[in-house]
Structure 1
Amino acid sequence: MEDQTFAKKPLSMGQKVERIRVFRGIKQEFLANKLGISQPQVSKIEQQDEIEDSLLNQIAEILGVTPETIKNFDEENLTYHINNQYNFYNTEIKDNATNNFVFNPIEKIAELYERLLNSEREKNELLKNQR
């Protein structure tokens, strides 16, 4: 049998926007509202290979990042950063035998998901109170 390695296809600009938007806990509807377009148009933007600079600048501002952050977005670097931040700040979670940090990725994913849910709940409450 032939040994096959699968090269990861680089993310398109739209996919990078989507990943950052989801990571920040922002819904397509919110982004659409801020851009003055419809939610389906945001969905189309997130499927594009390239995004014009003026639109990318607007999206970056709404997402709270720089356009360069979107252009240079890399999931592997993000995962590495999250793992290192988690290990650095959670010093009470240690393996006593080696005194090394123990990292459980499933717990971290659950924690991030819970934070995203709480963020969405807070946003919904703020929107309800504005009406």
Structure 2
Amino acid sequence: MSTTAKPYHIGRKISRIRELKDMKQEALAQALGTNQQAVSVIENSETIDEEKLEAVAKALGVTVEAIKNFSEEAVFNYFNNIYDNDFSHSNGAIQSNQCTFNPLDKLIEVYEEKEKLYERLLQAEKDKNEYLEKLLNGK
């Protein structure tokens, strides 16, 4: 008796894609307009009809072909290629993104800009008060 999974179990593929997208069964159920138990039934089904598969694909944000052709090996190869490419571009060194500006300088700029805005607001209020006083004294 073989313990390996059948190569085309659509429910398992849906389950793995959902998990890779960090989505719970309840969230998928809500997107499908059903309940968690129905999603569990789908994920335990070896086959599902095309209409339901299209709805699941849309809810997961993938194509029907992506679900049908999904394999763990392909996912691992994809991420390994990205990882390998990052190293090949950096000659084996880990690259880190560096700020091209000093965050403290930006903070000081924002603070100074805020001060200028408050000063303008204060001046506008003073001007308004002076105008109102002139109107009152003129009567």
User: TM-score, length-normalised on structure 2?
Assistant: 0.59
1:23 aligns with 2:11: no
What is the match of residue 72 of structure 1? 69
**Aligned pair partner of 1:94 in 92, 95, 103:** 92
Q: Which of the pair is proportionally richer in helix?
A: 2
Distance 1:6 1:45, change over 3 A: closer
Distance 1:93 1:24, change over 3 A: farther
Of residues 12-21 and 85-94 in structure 1, the stretch that sits farther from structure 2 once superposed is 85-94
What is the match of residue 123 of structure 1? none
More RCO (CA 8 Å, sep 6+): 1
What is the match of residue 135 of structure 2? none
What is the match of residue 126 of structure 2? none
Segments of 4+ in structure 1 off by > 6 A?
none
Matched residues, percent identical? 39
Residues 68-90 of structure 1: CA distance to partner in whole angstroms, max 9, x if unpaired? 00011111111111111122135
1:59 aligns with 2:56: yes
Q: CA RMSD in A?
A: 2.5
1:92 Cα deviation after fit? 4.8
Distance 1:51 1:93, change over 3 A: farther
Q: Give the length in aligned residue pairs.
A: 92
- Bigger radius of gyration: 2
What is the match of residue 43 of structure 2? 46
Amino acid of the residue matched to residue 59 of structure 1? Answer: V
Amino acid of the residue matched to residue 65 of structure 1? Answer: V
**Aligned pair partner of 1:9 in 6, 13, 18:** 6
CA distance in 1, matches of 2:71, 2:18: 14
CA distance in 2, matches of 1:7, 1:43: 21
What is the match of residue 97 of structure 2? none
- Structure 1 gaps of 5+ residues are 96-100, 102-131
